[in-house]
Structure 1
Amino acid sequence: MRRLPVYLAALATLTLAFAGTASATPRSHWDATHPRRAEVNHRLSNQDRRIHQEVREGDMSHREAARLHRDDRQIRGEERAMASQDNGHITRAEDHALNQQENHVSRQIGQ
């Protein structure tokens, strides 16, 4: 009979421990496949492919390609920094800003 309060106390402690862990999980989740992030990252990889193609075809110098790759790395870094502020998500405004930067690099690839 004296063991019952000890078991109940242990059960209550475990219940609270699991409840605290379950509620912390969504906040610490890093969503690398969020649709806006996926769109930005897909565009960056497409631009990377286009830069390599332009160099192969002789339409772009290695120096120009290196500069464009550096611009893309900077955009990717911004995307990661923005996502780290909101559990792996980027806002519409952040998505819009990143897309404008990607558009600028994309136009430079096509010139």
Structure 2
Amino acid sequence: MRAALLWTINDFPCYANLSGYSTKGKFACPTCQESTCSEWLHFSRKRCYIGHRRFLDHNHPERKDSRYFNSCEEHETIQPPINGSKIVDMLRSINVKFGKKTPANPNLPSNWKKFSIFFKFPY
């Protein structure tokens, strides 16, 4: 018997629980990972994700519109998304011990918190 996991894409906290990737903080985008564009807003004490214009065409007029965005033109390009086999290779050496008194593991890549059991299923 096999089961399929469906419809978790629109539920970001659930995505974080199932995948083992923390969808909070500086590198919250699981697709962009370490190339996530984010800024800390000091007065509201919140993180703002501002790199959305890099997904537009290179000659799109909003890439050069600095007045309505973060007073910068957008010149970055899209990084190719990381595939599942590369993620498994990154996370293969992770040994996570769950519990309140365990220290944070500094060797984890990016925002990964655990090696999810969903990576072990045969697909």
Q: As a proportion of its length, which structure holds more helix?
A: 1
Q: As a proportion of its length, which structure holds more strand?
A: 2
- Tell me the TM-score normalized by structure 1: 0.29
Q: Which has the higher contact order (CA 8 A, sep 6+)?
A: 1
- Tell me the TM-score normalized by structure 2: 0.27
